[in-house]
Amino acid sequence: MTGEPQVRAVGLTRAFDDRVAVSGLDLTVRQGRVLGVLGPNGSGKSTTVRLLTGLLRPTAGTVELFGEPVTPETAPRLRARIGVQTEANLYLRLTVAENLRTWGALHGLSRRHTAERISEVLDVVNLADRRDAPVGSLSKGLRQKAKIARALLAEPELLFLDEPTAGLDPASALDVLGHLAKLRADGRTTIVLCTHQLHGLEELCDDVVMLDRGRVVASGEVDELVAAHWPEREYLVRVTDRAAAEQAVADLRAAGHAVPDPEPVEPSLHDLYFALLQGEGR
Ligand SMILES: Nc1ncnc2c1ncn2[C@@H]1O[C@H](COP(=O)(O)OP(=O)(O)OP(=O)(O)O)[C@@H](O)[C@H]1O
């Protein structure tokens, strides 16, 4: 963990009237890492992202982005360097491409670079065929895609995503997660994402903060947390011959290992969805 801290929060706390949404949160996200902010509904994930991006003022505690304190004065300048998926609604009367062009202009991108990036980000979220549709005519999931495209447009060095795969169909969710994995592999983008949908995120997150009712219940590197919780590993062997599976189990039992009976692995509804709608397995 050698990168410079891009995000640092100390004692971050936010109350709404007498309800404490986030309490005493400490976190550091270093350059090029992916932090997952995880927790059930109402645990404070979105509030955390809004506090970290300067969209909400803390009741107590401090936030630094790129080593600079976030204050009402610095927030607009610092926010120009980050991509936030949840920030501000899209203009419903403008088309997807017009929304993105406006965003590109706000971030100082040239018209030509914006046009190139629009094609690239619409491909990432699989929305190219709706680029000239008014955003107001899009379904909820398609609007979500447009917001992700907007967050990615200016190739921000720091990206905040709030439930990025919520409302996306399984193939589009995989496309978005695949793109985030590519950004992670490039090492130039630092990502903070909050979610309660864990599927597909295990391989993406380097670090996690787990929240419950606004408090941190665990935080650290994913590998270290998993290893500390489950020091033992299980091993999986796959064979297609039932008799061979039973023989292997009998041999293991004879050698003194407590092994359960072999169980067939049934293809899932997920597998069926991809076989029928994405052409896999045809
Ligand atoms: N603007 C607000 N006014 C009053 N209470 C709020 C406000 N925003 C959030 N809260 C409360 O703060 C707590 C944390 O909310 P938050 O949206 O951060 O949770 P979350 O973990 O993102 O939840 P979800 O997974 O359901 O999106 C909740 O109890 C919520 O009702």
Per-residue pLDDT tens digits for 59-82: 999 999 999 999 989 988 898 889
* Predicted local confidence at residue 130, as pLDDT: 96
Q: How would you classify residue 155: left for phi > 0, otherwise alpha for psi between -120 and 50, otherwise beta?
A: left
Asked if the model's pLDDT at residue 86 lies above 80, the reply is: no
- Between residues 251 and 141, the one the model is more confident about: 251
Write down the mean pLDDT value for the chain: 91
pLDDT grade for 267, boundaries at 50, 70 and 90: confident
d(CA 80, CA 103): 11
d(CA 177, CA 169): 12
CA atoms within 13 A on the CB side of 102: 12
Asked if the model's pLDDT at residue 13 lies above 90, the reply is: yes
pLDDT grade for 197, boundaries at 50, 70 and 90: confident
| pTM attached to this predicted model | 0.86
Q: How would you classify residue 265: left for phi > 0, otherwise alpha for psi between -120 and 50, otherwise beta?
A: beta
pLDDT grade for 131, boundaries at 50, 70 and 90: very high
Beta-strand relationship, 215-221 and 68-69: unpaired
Share of the chain above pLDDT 90, in %: 66
User: Could you identify the residue written with the tokens 């109402």?
Assistant: 42
Is the distance from CB of 27 to CB of 221 less than 8 angstroms?
no
Average pLDDT over residues 236-257: 95
Rounded to the nearest whole angstrom, what is the distance from the C-alpha of residue 215 to the centroid of ligand 1? 13
* Predicted local confidence at residue 196, as pLDDT: 84
Is the distance from CB of 14 to CB of 58 less than 8 angstroms?
yes
* Predicted local confidence at residue 282, as pLDDT: 44
* Predicted local confidence at residue 174, as pLDDT: 86
| Residue of 45, 52, 193 with the most ligand 1 atoms within 8 Å of its CB, for mutation | 45
Q: Write the CA distances from 128 to 123, 153, 274, integer angstroms.
A: 6, 14, 21
d(CA 282, CA 279): 6
Q: Which atom, in ligand 1's list, is nearest to the CA of 214?
A: 14
Is the distance from CB of 41 to CB of 33 less than 8 angstroms?
no
